Structure 1
Amino acid sequence: MKKSLLVLLLLPVMAVACLAQESRQDISVSGSALIPTFIAGNAVQLHATVGYGVLLSYRYLLTPRSGLELNYQYAQELQHFINPTNNVLVHDRFQELSGAYVYSFAYKNFNPFVEAGVGGYIYGPIDDQKTQLQNLSQSTNIGALYGGGIAYEISPSFDIRAEYRGIFVKTPSFNQANLRTNRYYNLNDPVIGIAYHF
């Protein structure tokens, strides 16, 4: 009877200890490079420079292979609009707030993964010498996120992550009719960083 009672009392303690060893969450910080494609529409052409920035992610695993991810990204880039009447440069802050479903595969220390989700994307003009128009408004758009990558486990707590992310979003117009392409484009967003599991 005493042994049965002892085993019954130790079961919850052992279960908590087992769960504590299983890391279901991680946070990561990565360097990013937003590489926009050329787009033309509505008699407006848009060329943009590569925007270098940082991506912060939080991932929660629902099962050992599938999880949910929240992302915040910040970068700066230079938009170059060409329309029939003039050429305009706009220096802007790009911000991403997104959520995605992530599916992972495991092979020894390598963990390939794919993801898809939605997000809000904010283009905020920076009023400096690179911006050629004044009184611009920020452009906020809903877009889609997709991608895939690989995580290499360097220890039980850390891994190195390299990933290609694609962002499909409407081009910014900063609420100016003569900058509006009325088109969607794909932002190529390769990232590399480190993740901490807890």
Structure 2
Amino acid sequence: MKKTMLLCALVLTAMTAFGQESRQDASFSVFGLIGPDVTGNAVHMKTTTTGGILASYRYLLTPKSGLELNYGFAQNSEKYVTSFIPNGRIHTRNQELTGAYVYNMTFKNFNPFAEAGVGALIFTPIKDYGTNNLDAKQNTNIGALFGAGVAYEISPSFDIRAEYRAFLVKAPDFGLSDFKTNRYEVVSTPSIGVAYHF
């Protein structure tokens, strides 16, 4: 009986100590969207570089392991060159909806981390002067998210977070057979931002 009571007391003490730590955080970041040139199926696609915003929510399951949800937003242009279309342009709204597993380490005020997950990139054509094919349709492409970075703790509630993030996804074709590369691309989104722990 004494052993059971001692074990319960130890478990409650550990739970109370861990419960006092911040297990959740919300972050807001700015990122650069850098897409590669993609060539396939006699189509050449070039993604223009732009900036965007990223909102994330992270929940720590243990001090080293956590889960993260992300929403990102940016606007850029996809340019296509084919044998029939020398100057195809789609002004695009990019949205990211992803979930990832995050592994954390702690070295004084520095907290390096790595993440991997899945999600969707939503490519929505904007029908304006930057788009010269009005038949373009929205693409929702499923892919893999991966990245690594470091958070620097500036107080118990705030840290500055810098990260290299990337998304492996099929190149968008906007429902147009003339723009179909049948290739995958790695879209890089390096980011820097601030996280609030609660």
TM-score normalised to structure 2 length = 0.91
Q: What letter corresponds to residue 185 of structure 1 in structure 2?
A: E
Alignment of 1:34-183 (within 5 A): 34-86=33-85, 87-183=87-183
What's the CA shift for 1:18?
Answer: 4.1
Q: Counterparts of 2:13 and 2:120 in 1: how far apart (Å)? A: 43
CA displacement 1:154-178 (0-9 Å, x = unmatched): 0000000000001100001000000
Long gaps (5+) in structure 1: 1-10
Deviates more, 1:56-65 or 1:127-136: 127-136
What's the CA shift for 1:106?
Answer: 0.5
Long gaps (5+) in structure 2: 1-9
Q: Counterparts of 1:63 and 1:18 in 2: how far apart (Å)? A: 12
Q: Counterparts of 2:14 and 2:61 in 1: how far apart (Å)? A: 18
Q: Counterparts of 1:20 and 1:171 in 2: how far apart (Å)? A: 44
Q: Counterparts of 1:51 and 1:127 in 2: how far apart (Å)? A: 19
Q: Counterparts of 1:15 and 1:108 in 2: how far apart (Å)? A: 21
What's the CA shift for 1:188?
Answer: 1.1
Q: Counterparts of 2:62 and 2:18 in 1: how far apart (Å)? A: 13
What's the CA shift for 1:37?
Answer: 0.6
CA displacement 1:46-104 (0-9 Å, x = unmatched): 01111311011000001100100000000001100000011201100001100000001
What's the CA shift for 1:152?
Answer: 0.1
- Report the identity percentage: 55
TM-score normalised to structure 1 length = 0.91
Number of residue pairs matched by the alignment = 189
Q: Please, what is the CA RMSD of the aligned residues?
A: 1.9
